[in-house]
Structure 1
Amino acid sequence: MKNALGQPQSLLLLGGSSEIGLATARRLVQGRTRRVHLAGRPSPALTAAAAELTAMGAEVSVHDFDAAALDTHETVLGKVFAEGDIDAVLLAFGVLGDQLKDEQDPMAAAAVGQVNYLGAVTSALVSAQALRRQGHGSLIVLSSVAGERARRANFIYGSTKAGLDAFAQGLGDSLQGTGVHVMVVRPGFVRGRMTEGRPEAPMATTPEAVAEAILVGLQRGSETVWAPGALRVVMSGVRHLPRPVYRRLAV
């Protein structure tokens, strides 16, 4: 259960080596979170993440989880929840893909959708059902401003995030009154492994800054979080641009 200050004492991170996910986990462990479940594909990065959080004082469990293996999610996550109540689930996995190559390879494009959308749908539903049985908990879903309006430069990735965003909002509405809180997080361009070597977009941010926004959102019980917050206004304008005007933009 969350403590008297509303802070989660246990966390399940789906995408256990995610930079944003780990930045959030570090902040939570520095506070009141004492139990952390890292779910991801086995890798040196996942092992290092577990060691780091353990050194910070958390009790850490590592679980073999593949976002693309949809038929395993119910079993894997069921075992995690069987170990005890979880106060917060952070869905932080995703792939950017290679737009130019993926346009020419439909199966590669489908693989992006398999992870970013279908994998998120199955794991979020399993987690939401478990949280509902508990009667409490937060499900934090990392979306993206890329889902607000598809850009020709990354419409495959953007479309997966648009679908995920709509799904998470609807899931949150369906869970009203159950004690389960769903929060959608919409970061802009985040400096990190995924964007390394790519031209930096305006209002670029960091994993640490997104983590801070997530913590503030949890404390406030927010349903939608923008990182940085100014993107809320910017994307409102972008979303309502006439399509002929939008097409002329260098995006």
Structure 2
Amino acid sequence: MIDAVGNPQSLFVLGGTSDIALATAQKYAEQQPLRIILADRPEESERMAAAVELLRKTGSTVSTLTFDARKPETHAEVIDKAFADGDIDITLVAFGIQGDNEKGWTEVGAARAVAEINYVAPMTLGVLLAEKLRKQGHGRLAVMSSPAGERARRSNFVYGSSKAGLDVFYTGLAYALSESGVTVTVVRPNFVRTKLTEGMKPAPMAQTPEQVAAAIVDGVRKGKELIYVPGQMRLVMAVLNHLPRPIFRKLPF
């Protein structure tokens, strides 16, 4: 159970080797050692081992699970294993791919990869997690979304479409779980300097994984259903979302 000052005793991370996920796990572990479960692809075994070693230095207990977003037939087993040793206080859904936008709208395989990893997998996992969390009667679920899902942009509309689906599903899940003792936090960070965005030109107000992690920990503790990182992005997106289409299409992104 989460203690009186908001510190969890357990953390489950899907996409456990992502820069934001690891920074978030570190942030929680620095506040108080806890039981951490990291789940990620077998291809990330080296990064996983490094993450485990780093987090164990905080005094936390760390275990790992093999997880593949594109194998939905295995997702129920992964969730069952994560909850096998007891309740989970906080779950973070933090995996995803950027994809090549030009391939995404011209090659079926590229389009399917973005849709399956960024939307289909988080949705199916959300259904499974909701069942577990409702049964235990408490818990907090956070998911990485993006402002890109709010309005189509020429440069990243394939990625944005997948995040739009994820965002709507988890926003609705927050409503559905509101009377069960479970909270859902949708996180919309601006450009973050991670391995996912390596080689891309940083956008204004670009963030570090540590800045996003701090916002996640604070937002989850306060039970917020939606957070922007940085907070100013809420105002930026409010303006962009109300621009007339002819003007919006001329903007350089």
Q: Do the two structures share a fold, i.e. TM-score over 0.5?
A: yes
Computed over aligned residues only, the root mean square deviation of the Cα atoms, in angstroms, reads 0.9
Does 1:85 find its partner at 2:87?
A: yes
Query: Residues 80-130 of structure 1, C-alpha deviation per residue, up to 9 Å, x if partnerless?
Result: 112110000000000000112222211211111100000100112111211
Instruction: Map 1:5-20 to 2 at 5 A.
Output: 5-20=5-20
Tell me which amino acid in the other structure corresponds to 1:16.
Answer: G
Question: Separation in 2 of the partners of 1:102 and 1:233?
Answer: 29
Aligned partner (choices 145, 148, 151) of residue 150 of structure 2: 148
**Equivalent residue, structure 1, for 2:110:** 108
- Relative to the length of structure 2, the TM-score reads 0.97
Does 1:200 find its partner at 2:221?
A: no
Contact 1:36 1:59 (8 Å CA) reproduced:
yes
**Equivalent residue, structure 2, for 1:235:** 237
Give the unaligned 5+ runs of structure 2: none
Structure 1 stretches of 4+ moved >6 Å: none
Aligned partner (choices 166, 179, 182) of residue 180 of structure 1: 182
Aligned residues: 251
Instruction: Map 1:147-166 to 2 at 5 A.
Output: 147-166=149-168
Does 1:138 find its partner at 2:140?
A: yes
Contact 2:33 2:59 (8 Å CA) reproduced:
no
Question: Separation in 1 of the partners of 2:204 and 2:5?
Answer: 35
Tell me which amino acid in the other structure corresponds to 1:201.
Answer: A
Q: CA deviation at 1:33?
A: 4.4
Tell me which amino acid in the other structure corresponds to 1:4.
Answer: A
Does 1:28 find its partner at 2:28?
A: yes
Percent of aligned positions with the same letter in both sequences?
Answer: 50
Question: Separation in 1 of the partners of 2:33 and 2:159?
Answer: 32
Contact 1:205 1:228 (8 Å CA) reproduced:
yes
Tell me which amino acid in the other structure corresponds to 1:27.
Answer: K
Give the unaligned 5+ runs of structure 1: none
Question: Separation in 2 of the partners of 1:192 and 1:61?
Answer: 24
Tell me which amino acid in the other structure corresponds to 1:99.
Answer: N
- Aligned with 2:163: secondary structure? helix
Tell me which amino acid in the other structure corresponds to 1:118.
Answer: V
